[in-house]
Structure 1
Amino acid sequence: MANAPFSHEYTFPCHGTTTLKVLYTNSAASVEEWITNAEGSLDSSARKIVGLDVEYDKLSEDCKVLSRSNLYVHNLKDIQEIWRDPDKKKKLQGLKDVAGAIIDPIYFEMKDGFGRAEHRMWANPPPLPPKHLEYAARDAYATYEVYRRLDLFERGFFSLFKHPEKKRGRDW
């Protein structure tokens, strides 16, 4: 039996003084409204970075889950394919490894306290415990902030090639 549609907003601390408003919903209409509002607020932005996350069980992926509600991802960026910590030997690194290296070492511990039982709860019927909702908020923030910083680093690096430094009269 399917769950009745629900939508709840929460605000969680994410990093320092940064908080994140979270929409916890199983309603496609609520997601569509959120996307429309996000598009409207980004109209005048030069850089449009939006994160949309689906918490699910291990057998599905975000794009597939979203497509079931006729929400399609057209410009997917997988951070694991863009950057990895060169000091780590692991081929695939999780968000905690990347966020810990790029944002703050505190992110190395972002999954502490989530054992197997807690991980299995993502697939349970709603509602999720507050601990899971706060984790999802921090996960979303870390994903956004890592990508925003990587984008900034990349644009700064490549701008060196587009606008080489002018030669000065004196070289101290």
Structure 2
Amino acid sequence: MSKREIANELHKPARKNFPRSRVIVYGKNDLWQADLVEMIPYSKINGGYKYILVVIDAFTKVSWAKPLKCKSGKEVTSAMATILLDRSPKLLQLDNGKEFYNTTFDALMTKYGIHKYSTFSILKASIAERFNRTLKWKMYKEFTARGVTRMGFNVTKVT
């Protein structure tokens, strides 16, 4: 190698988008991902609802969305409990938020035998994050079409 090639190699910018591991899922209800979507700018017109709890099955891509007034452990747990009434996953991937890591939420996970975990990466629950982007895009499109930012909380119709 010449000095020029070595210098180029040493001073080459670091790759930011490098290949990552795939999300391996074995079937329906094997892995779910959950996240919160912030809708704080629209909370006054929407009855104080500031967040949307989004849960998605990584295999089937079936999703659930529940509006929340705050992201307290109790409120997130009660919203998750309504989603878990007739189905539950083996694994639940979350971010590191306190809304998911508290005794109330832990008790719900234990009740249904769900193993929750978090990845300590900036990418977090990638499928849920991508779904959040799609959900917001569809909601903003609907806001523009109707000329109002009231969600009406028919979020399930949007998804």
User: TM-score over 0.5 for the alignment?
Assistant: no
Give the alignment's TM-score, normalised by structure 2: 0.25
> Which structure dedicates a bigger proportion of its chain to helix?
1
Q: Normalized per residue, which structure has more strand?
A: 2
TM-score by length of 1: 0.24
